[in-house]
């Protein structure tokens, strides 16, 4: 039995080496994907028509419900957010993030300017497709779609805040401009144009054309 131990150890070592070779080859053939994080802000121009805003419903002189154009209800607002994402096949970027949108209601339909205020808190899921790989190009335009789901918070003077669950789908577009590269290309920094046009969503949720920008850090 003692004489067989070295043979058994050599056999186990050989099996281990054979089993490890394909794994090592697979690791060498598959490059690590790039991940990214970004922070951004944007100018939000309202569009669409609305029959109500918060707790206010719009009616005509005969007390019939009417819809009002966005530019008669909202002034331009702004948004802030951040994303984390992974780049697949050098072209397809999947992102998960958070966005805060500050709605700017016009005062004409409120009894007092500070009567109530609307704010939006969203989780975002985005899929963007790049025209050229952002890892290899100085300028990389993209387009895609995004889904936003979150709470429309209604702040009412003298009352407890109320919140409504809202969902929205948007068309996203923009580009990345590479401004710095680190660690022999394993990470880099881009200035990102981050824009969206809200297509449709829950009825009382404000919709915008948002033009924005931010910093995006890529790494692997």
**Sign for the pseudo-dihedral over CA of 7, 13, 15, 17:** negative
- 50: β partners: 68
Contact 213, 195 (CB under 8 A): no
pLDDT of residue 31: 67
pTM (two decimals): 0.79
pLDDT of residue 148: 96
Is residue 52 located within the same domain as residue 157?
yes
pLDDT of residue 32: 83
Is residue 134 located within the same domain as residue 194?
yes
**Sign for the pseudo-dihedral over CA of 68, 74, 75, 79:** negative
Task: Assign 90 to helix, strand or coil.
Answer: coil
Which tokens go with 47?
Answer: 């569009």
As a whole number of angstroms, the distance between CA 31 and CA 45 comes to 41
Contact 204, 164 (CB under 8 A): yes
Is residue 3 located within the same domain as residue 66?
no
Is residue 74 located within the same domain as residue 86?
yes
Is residue 4 located within the same domain as residue 110?
no
pLDDT of residue 161: 75
The mean pLDDT values, 10 residues at a time, for the chain of 220 residues are: 48 52 52 93 92 72 80 91 97 97 80 72 97 96 97 79 89 98 92 97 89 97
Is residue 18 located within the same domain as residue 90?
no
Containing domain of residue 69, as a range?
32-219
- Structurally, the chain folds into a number of domains equal to 2
pLDDT of residue 123: 96
- Residue 44 sits in a domain of what CATH number? 2.40.160.20
Contact 83, 93 (CB under 8 A): no
Is residue 107 located within the same domain as residue 26?
no
Is residue 111 located within the same domain as residue 42?
yes
Is residue 45 located within the same domain as residue 21?
no
Q: How many contiguous H segments (helices) and E segments (strands) does the chain have? A: 1, 12
Is residue 104 located within the same domain as residue 155?
yes
Is residue 165 located within the same domain as residue 154?
yes
Is residue 25 located within the same domain as residue 37?
no
pLDDT of residue 210: 97
């Amino acid at each position: 039995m003692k004489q067989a131990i070295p043979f058994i150890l050599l056999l186990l070592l050989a099996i281990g080496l054979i089993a490890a070779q394909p794994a090592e080859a697979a690791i060498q053939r598959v490059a690590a994907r790039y991940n990214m994080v970004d922070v951004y802000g944007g100018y939000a121009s309202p569009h669409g028509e609305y029959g109500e805003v918060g707790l206010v419903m719009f009616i005509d002189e005969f007390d019939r419900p009417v819809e009002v154009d966005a530019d008669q209800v909202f002034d331009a607002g702004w948004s802030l957010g951040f994303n984390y994402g992974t780049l697949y096949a050098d072209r397809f970027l999947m992102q998960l993030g958070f966005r805060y949108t500050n709605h700017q209601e016009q005062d004409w339909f409120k009894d007092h300017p500070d009567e109530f205020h609307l704010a939006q808190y969203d989780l975002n899921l985005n899929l963007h497709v790049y025209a050229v790989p952002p890892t290899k190009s100085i300028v990389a335009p993209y387009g895609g779609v995004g889904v936003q789901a979150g709470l429309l918070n209604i702040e009412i003077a003298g009352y407890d805040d109320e919140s409504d669950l809202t969902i929205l789908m948007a068309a996203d577009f923009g580009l990345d401009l590479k401004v710095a590269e680190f660690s022999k290309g394993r990470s880099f920094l881009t200035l990102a144009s981050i824009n969206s046009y809200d297509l449709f969503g829950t009825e009382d949720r404000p919709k915008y054309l948002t033009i924005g920008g931010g910093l995006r850090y890529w790494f692997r």
